């Protein structure tokens, strides 16, 4: 008999992470472009991205509690099936409401996926926690990069419906591979979901948790903007769908390298410096995005934005792993990762409003200046929220 965590089961863990993110990357580029082709305004397209993410906040906490009750494997298998159902819903979606429902299912899948896959990865055998989280981050971002490129290319070559069918097929393949996920430390018996969930309220009562939430918010910023504002900005600049997907996919290059090379370097002990660096780089690359429509420069800005987000992503994950046990790892990650849910709600709506009121250039400059100010106040935020 094969051992519980054979090489093939480890391959299934990393492989499903790549496949699911290919699907999510396709959703992120296809949905806003499809909504734009249906004649929706910039603000309406932004709402298609933002509103389902609002419901994801509650589902994220429920998903974390369920993961700590029934195990990461089962919850990941559910989330892979949800992505397949989202693809089927997108195939037939034609109205604003139908598109919102399909997007909502995809976001429910996402809310289950992140905490479960990160918790599972932190418990895999071998290597340090930082390296294991770095590897799964590289798989996540690498899959997203492929998905963004593939989504734009498929939309340009075969149209939206065929692209959604491919998305559905890949999600079903992911669900099948998910049946072979590795076993990790079993969860304690006799705990109810409600009892586990009450731990979330306790965690959110600590000020330090909210500092980590700002880190996860910054980590989510590149994804929040590339699946909404950047896609529309590039479309306004008259780039074809295939080029839009390729340019947006550059967002994942930096985080892949960060995950593979810096997983053991980004640690909570260096939090202040990493916080200032990450926030400052987000601000600089947002400012750069509003400076010119040159495709090479814009692609570099998107790649830089993704690298800054990847650094912040690893920092928040290391904080969550360090401050939790295997029995409550998913709930801790769900709580500290709340920023990943707040960002897709707040960022597209806020920046979309700025775009409608003042144009893309002003929106990028205002957003960039905001994050530079946050970076400048690093010591103040740490003193107020963490007593550091």
In a domain, 2, yes or no: no
List the Cα angle 102/18/144 in 5-degree steps.
60
Q: Which of 203, 201, 197 is nearest to 323 (CA)?
A: 203
In a domain, 268, yes or no: yes
Q: Residue 221's domain spans which residues?
A: 7-386
In a domain, 151, yes or no: yes
* Residue-level pLDDT at 5: 58
- Tokens representing residue 268 in the block: 């909570």
DSSP 33-68: HHHHHTT--HHHHHHHHHHHHHHHHHHHHHHHHHHH
Q: Are 114 and 55 spatial neighbours (Cβ–Cβ below 8 Å)?
A: no
- Tokens representing residue 69 in the block: 């009750």
- Count of all residues that appear for the chain in the document: 388
CA 16/CA 19 separation, integer angstroms: 5
How far lies 68's CA from each of 25, 123, 325, in Å? Answer: 27, 13, 11
Cβ-in-10-Å burial (0-12, 13-18, 19+) of 92 comes to exposed
CB atoms within 10 A of CB 328: 22
Can you give the pLDDT of all 388 residues of the chain as single tens digits? Answer: 345 557 888 889 999 999 999 999 899 888 888 888 888 877 777 777 777 766 677 777 777 888 888 888 999 999 999 999 999 999 988 888 888 889 888 888 887 888 889 888 888 887 677 788 888 888 988 898 888 788 888 888 888 999 999 999 999 999 999 999 988 777 777 777 777 777 677 777 788 889 989 999 999 999 889 877 888 888 888 888 778 878 887 888 888 888 777 777 777 778 889 999 999 999 999 999 988 878 899 999 999 999 999 899 888 888 888 877 767 787 888 888 888 878 887 888 888 889 888 889 999 999 999 999 999 999 998 888 876 5
Buried b or exposed e, range 153-165, using 16+ CB within 10 angstroms: bbbbeeebeebbb
How far lies 83's CA from each of 103, 113, 312, in Å? Answer: 10, 10, 26
Cα 119 to its chain centre, rounded Å, is 15
DSSP 112-135: HHHHHHHHHHHTSSSS-HHHHHHH
Please state the domain count of the chain. Answer: 1
**Count of alpha carbons within 13 angstroms of residue 152, beta-carbon side:** 24
pTM: 0.75
* Residue-level pLDDT at 387: 62
Q: Are 124 and 204 spatial neighbours (Cβ–Cβ below 8 Å)?
A: no
Kindly tell me the sign of the dihedral angle through the C-alpha atoms of 335, 337, 340, 346: positive
In a domain, 136, yes or no: yes
In a domain, 346, yes or no: yes
CA 208/CA 172 separation, integer angstroms: 40
In a domain, 175, yes or no: yes
CATH number of domain containing 342:
1.20.1250.20
Cα 234 to its chain centre, rounded Å, is 21
CB atoms within 10 A of CB 64: 30
* Residue-level pLDDT at 329: 80
In a domain, 1, yes or no: no
* Residue-level pLDDT at 1: 37
**Count of alpha carbons within 13 angstroms of residue 116, beta-carbon side:** 34
């Amino acid at each position: 008999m094969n051992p519980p965590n054979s090489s093939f089961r480890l391959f299934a863990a990393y492989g499903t992470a790549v496949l699911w993110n290919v699907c999510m990357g396709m959703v992120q580029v296809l949905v806003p472009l499809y909504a734009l082709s249906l004649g929706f305004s910039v603000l309406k397209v932004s709402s298609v991205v933002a509103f389902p993410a609002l419901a994801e906040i509650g589902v994220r906490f429920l998903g974390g509690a369920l993961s700590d009750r029934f195990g990461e494997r089962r919850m990941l298998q559910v989330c892979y099936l949800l992505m397949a159902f989202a693809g089927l819903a997108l195939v037939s979606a034609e109205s604003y409401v139908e598109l919102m429902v399909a997007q909502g299912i995809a976001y429910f899948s996402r809310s289950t996926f992140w905490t479960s896959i990160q918790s599972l990865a932190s418990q895999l055998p071998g290597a340090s926690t930082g390296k294991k989280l770095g590897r799964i981050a590289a798989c996540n971002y690498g899959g997203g990069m492929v998905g963004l490129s593939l989504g734009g290319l498929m939309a340009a070559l075969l149209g939206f419906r065929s692209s959604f069918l491919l998305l559905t097929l890949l999600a079903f393949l992911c669900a099948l591979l998910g049946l072979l996920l590795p076993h990790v430390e079993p969860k304690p018996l006799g705990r109810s979901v409600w009892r586990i969930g009450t731990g979330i309220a306790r965690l959110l009562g600590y000020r330090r948790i909210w500092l980590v939430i700002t880190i996860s918010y910054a980590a989510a910023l590149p994804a929040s903007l590339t699946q909404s504002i950047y896609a529309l900005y590039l479309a306004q600049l008259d780039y074809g769908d295939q080029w839009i997907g390729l340019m947006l996919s550059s967002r994942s290059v930096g985080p892949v390298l960060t995950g593979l090379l810096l997983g053991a370097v980004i640690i909570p002990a260096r939090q202040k410096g990493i916080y200032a660096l990450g926030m400052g780089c987000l601000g600089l690359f947002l400012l750069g995005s509003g400076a010119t429509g040159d495709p090479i420069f814009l692609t570099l800005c998107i790649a830089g934005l993704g690298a800054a987000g990847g650094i912040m992503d690893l920092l928040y994950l290391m904080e969550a792993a360090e401050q939790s046990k295997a029995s409550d790892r998913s709930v801790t990650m769900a709580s500290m990762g709340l920023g990943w849910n707040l960002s897709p709600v707040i960022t597209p709506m806020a920046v979309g409003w700025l775009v409608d009121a003042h144009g893309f250039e002003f929106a990028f400059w205002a957003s960039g200046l905001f994050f530079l100010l946050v970076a400048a106040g690093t010591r103040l935020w740490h003193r107020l929220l963490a007593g550091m």
